[in-house]
Structure 1
Amino acid sequence: MKSYFTFFLSFWLLNELSATRAPFKDIFSGQSTENQCNGYCFSILKPLFYRIGQLEESATKNEEVQNLKNQVEKLIDAQTREFDYQREMIKTLTGSIQSLQGEIKNRDSQISGQIEQQFKGITNNDDRVKSLTETVKDLESRLEIMGSQINNQAELIKAKNAEVVNLTLHNKLCTESMSKITDDLLKCNRQDSCPSKGPSDIYKINLKEIGTFEAPCSSNGWLTIQKRFDGSENFNRPWKDYKEGFGNIRGEFFIGLEKLHVMTRERPHELYIKLGKVDGSTGYAHYDEFKIGSELESYVLSIGTYNGTVGDSLDVHRNQKFTTLDRDNDPHKEINCASDEGGGWWYKKCYYSKLNGKFYKEGRTRGKKENGIAWGTWHNYDWTYSLTFVEMMIRPKTL
């Protein structure tokens, strides 16, 4: 019964189409999307409808028409399901799109906030950059000022270096001058004795009541008061000469009794005597005290304790007055011990030592004379024996 209904429906549709002469596809024009086939559906149905028309022409093909009708129904059902599926897909896609749009909006909001924060950070950084720029400018200004100051200091240092060089040269000249002046001052010593340090040389000694005079000084402060070594000077002299001194201070000489008195009066002195024989042997005698009295006391001799290598031949003359050829102060009642070229000395009936006697270069007196340079304890009291070298020296005990 159903097949006949379908057949008549199809037949009716074909008749309607033929009567109206309208295309079969126009039957669905103006219908909603949900009640009409799309172009694809129509392209499939068109040959079916065409085939139905052919079947309608032949009543004998009812069974084939029925089959075609069934196929059409199946296709319509399949297409409907496809439409439902696509509708659901569209709904799903629409929801996804809406969700994505919301997410995009949130992201836009977040990005806008981040951009705003970044902008604020940039603004803050701009402020910091501005502050740093000002600081850098300030530092550059300070560096420029410091550079100028350094240049000024460099110029000052350069000038100071030049001054230092000049001062160094000046100091060198001053040092050399001071050294020379020091030497001259040492040589021109204004005190009453030789300098305790300095080269051996001729120095100037200044004494109250005497004035300035020259005398040989050794490097350790000894002042030579008498020297004999070649016989170039005559020591057989009167009182006045022994009082004032005589001879050549660079050769043979006697310094003078008055000078010895003033020097030894001011402060204690010691005495050192160097002796030499013709055979080249030498010795010495040292006395820890030495003092000469005034002229009113006839320059009396005071000596201390002896030590040495030649024996003590001066002890006999302790506390004796000085005698010269023209002033006899010795205790000998019969003769003047200074006569017969004996030279001035602190005689006592007459002597054990006599260092101002006549010089004999051969080391022996001529004949039986006993007027040579004598130090009895060193030549076994052989009075014809004469020493060939004598140097008497004194030094303040405080040096």
Structure 2
Amino acid sequence: MDFVHLFSITGDAQIQGLESITSQLNRSDSAEMKTLICLTTLFILAAVHAGTEEESALGEKVGNSCSIRMKNGGKCDEDGNCPYQINLPSMTIQLPKQFQLLEKTIKEVQSLKEIVNALKKSCQDCKLQADDTPEKDNGQQNPESTNGDQDNNIHELQSKVKKMSISLKNARNQINSLQEQLGKMSPINMNTIEQYVDTKMINLSFALNNLDNKCSSNCPVLEANPSIQLLYKDCSDYYKIGKKVDGRYRVTPDEKNKTFEVYCDMESMGGGWTVVQIRKDGSTSFNRTWNEYKNGFGNLTGEFWLGNDKLHLLTKSTDMILRIELEDFKGNREYAKYDQFYVANEYLKYRLTIGGYSGTAGDALHFSKQYNHDQKFFTTPDKDNDRYPSGNCGSYYSSGWWFDACMSANLNGKYYKNDYKGVRNGIFWGTWTGVSDEHLNSYRQTFKFVKMMIRPKSFRP
């Protein structure tokens, strides 16, 4: 360390002498030489200190200003080097405040040196471990070759991803095109396809039954003039032959399937109507299971649901119109007629196709985008096929119906004889007069009479 810059010493000669001595001290490798130089330096400092006191205390003698004494320490050697002994007086030097900071800085530098040395050692250890790791003799290529292969693999993967992206884009375009084509297809075309599939399945079932029932021996000779049985597909066929009285009749919409009984309305609006549902006194509960709605329930002369399987058979091969008649307890009577009505089979969850509204009750089956019952599946309390994501509309409204999410119409709701509050689980038609004015705590609209009936679109009374 250069001590010259830490003291304030006046006099150019004195400063130059100190710089010379310090330089010798920094270059010296001998301990004895360093000691001698240090003593000399102290001697000069003492002299400077004494000279300073002399200048500040005028009138004092020179001998009194310097108390350093040098005396012979022994005989001189052959080379003329004589030993001398210097006696230095006690001397107090006051150092500035910067020396405290200098000491603190020196400690911090020493700590940093230790940290740097530790890091160097760690790096050397890592390098030794890397050098000691043996290369695998399994045909591994050098790093440059490996990097080249990796670059090639990356390029290949990028190329594959690009091709897949193009394929995905083409697939999306094809899907969009198919969706547009599907959207252009009318429900009638879809119904025709379903009817074709149903026909093929029926033909197969019929052929199997014939094989099972095939005679094991020669069948008896058939009569020469076998009787021909006339099949009545729906109530309009009975009306055409003069049967114009309301009542129960047997129909066979499809000769490959069984005959079943229906209730025919031969008087309303030209007659020939096959009734599929009636509500009039609340004697029959419509809170039923999927299988009950599938097969039908109730009493044909009272309240009933004809059955989804029967609805499918009646509408699959003949274009039907649907007429709905409603009456409230105030005596208001309205109707809604739809020129298109079709119910798909069970495999398609008895999906409803409804359209071509006319009437006075309002088109509640096409109320809005959110509440549109067209092309909706049938839902019951035990089978959820609706579009409501948080639950089962059939369970919530205690009935089976073609719910959306959930409904703007439900003719299979609970039969209430008086106004009620709470959940709108009763018979409901969303476009009925006054229904739009209802709020959460108000009384609900109730209906005294509801009837759903169908007839071929081509029927003429």
TM-score normalized by structure 1?
A: 0.51
Q: Are 2:281 and 1:234 equivalent residues in the alignment?
A: no
Q: 1:267 aligns with which of 299, 315, 318?
A: 318
Q: Is the 8 A contact 1:227 1:392 kept in 2?
A: yes
The answer to whether residue 232 in structure 2 is matched with residue 191 in structure 1 is: yes
* 1:313 Cα deviation after fit: 0.2
Instruction: Give the 3-state SS of the residue equivalent to 1:296 in structure 2.
Output: helix
- Asked if 2 retains the 8 angstrom alpha-carbon contact of 1:242 and 1:256, the reply is yes
| Whole-angstrom CA distance in 2 between matches of 1:287 and 1:395 | 11
Q: Tell me the alpha carbon deviations over residues 132-151 of structure 1, each in whole angstroms, 9 at most, x when there is no partner.
A: xxxxxxxxxxxxxxxxxxxx
- Please report how far the alpha carbon of residue 342 of structure 1 lies from its aligned counterpart in structure 2 after TM superposition: 2.7
SS in 1 for 2:259: strand
Equivalent residues in 2 for 1:171-250, closer than 5 Å: 190-194=231-235, 195-197=238-240, 198-208=244-254, 209-219=256-266, 220-250=271-301
SS at match of 1:377: coil
Distance 2:343 2:431 in 1: 23
Q: Indicate how the Cα distance of structure 1 residues 189 and 335 shifts in structure 2: closer, same or farther if over 3 A, else same.
A: farther
- Who is 2:400 aligned against? 344
One-letter amino acid of the counterpart of residue 278, structure 1: F
1:290 aligns with 2:338: no
Which deviates more from structure 2 when the two are superposed, residues 194-203 or residues 274-283? 194-203
| Corresponding residue for residue 327 of structure 1 | 383
Distance 1:210 1:341, change over 3 A: farther
For 1:342 and 1:348, locate their aligned partners in 2 and report how far apart those are by CA, in whole Å.
15
Instruction: Tell me if the contact between 1:287 and 1:304 (Cα under 8 Å) persists in the aligned partners.
Output: yes
> 1:344 and 1:189 mapped to 2: Cα distance?
35
* Cα contact 1:191–1:206 (8 A) shared by 2: yes
Deviations 1:88-126 (A, max 9, x none): xxxxxxxxxxxxxxxxxxxxxxxxxxxxxxxxxxxxxxx
Question: Counterparts of 2:310 and 2:250 in 1: how far apart (Å)?
Answer: 13
Amino acid aligned to 1:301: L
Within 2, Cα distance between the matches of 1:247 and 1:332? 28
Q: CA deviation at 1:196?
A: 3.0
Q: Does 1:256 align with 2:307?
A: yes
Superposed displacement of residue 189, structure 1: 7.3
Q: Deviations over 1:314-343 (max 9, x none)?
A: 121011000000110001100111114531
Q: Is the contact made by 2:397 and 2:424 (CA closer than 8 Å) also made in structure 1?
A: no
Deviations 1:210-266 (A, max 9, x none): 412211112211110000010000000000000100000000000000111111111
> Structure 2: which amino acid aligns with 1:202?
R
Matched, 1:398 2:458: yes
Unpaired segments of 5 or more residues in structure 1?
1-187
Q: Is the CA contact (8 Å cut-off) linking 1:189 and 1:205 kept in structure 2?
A: no
What is the one-letter code of the residue matched to 1:196? Y
1:354 pairs with one of 410, 413, 418? 410
TM-aligned CA deviation for residue 398 of structure 1: 2.1
| Structure 2 counterpart of 1:37 | none
Corresponding residue pairs, total: 210
Instruction: State the secondary structure of the residue aligned to 1:313.
Output: coil
Aligned mates of 1:273, 1:281 — CA distance in 2:
14
* Matches of 1:277 and 1:238, distance apart in 2: 27
* Structure showing the higher helix proportion among its residues: 1
Greater gyration radius: 1
Name the aligned partner's letter for residue 318 of structure 2.
R
2: CA distance, partners of 1:262 / 1:336: 27
Compared with structure 1, are the counterparts of its residues 392 and 375 closer, same or farther at alpha carbon in structure 2 (3 Å cutoff)? Answer: same
Contact 1:190/1:204, CA 8 A, preserved across alignment? no
For residues 260-310 of structure 1, the C-alpha deviation after alignment (integer angstroms, 9 at most, x for no partner) is 111111111000000010111110000011000111110001012100011
Query: Structure 1 residue 318 and structure 2 residue 374: aligned?
Result: yes
Q: Deviations over 1:163-185 (max 9, x none)?
A: xxxxxxxxxxxxxxxxxxxxxxx
CA distance in 1, matches of 2:263, 2:390: 39
* Correspondences of 1:47-86 after superposition (within 5 Å): none
Partner of 1:307: 358
Q: 1:373 to 1:189 in 2, by over 3 A?
A: farther
Across the aligned residues of Structure 1 and Structure 2, the Cα RMSD in angstroms comes to: 1.7
Amino acid at match of 1:390: V
SS at 2:452 equivalent:
strand
Query: 2:342 is paired with a residue of what secondary structure?
Result: strand
Check conservation: 2:350, 2:377, Cα contact below 8 A.
yes
Partners in 2 of 1:226 and 1:326 — Cα distance?
21
Q: Is the 8 A contact 2:321 2:341 kept in 1?
A: yes
**2:455 maps to amino acid:** R
Amino acid at match of 2:362: G
TM-score by length of 2: 0.44
Alignment gaps of 5+ in structure 2:
1-228, 367-371
Give the whole-Å Cα distance in 2 for the aligned partners of 1:387 and 1:242: 22
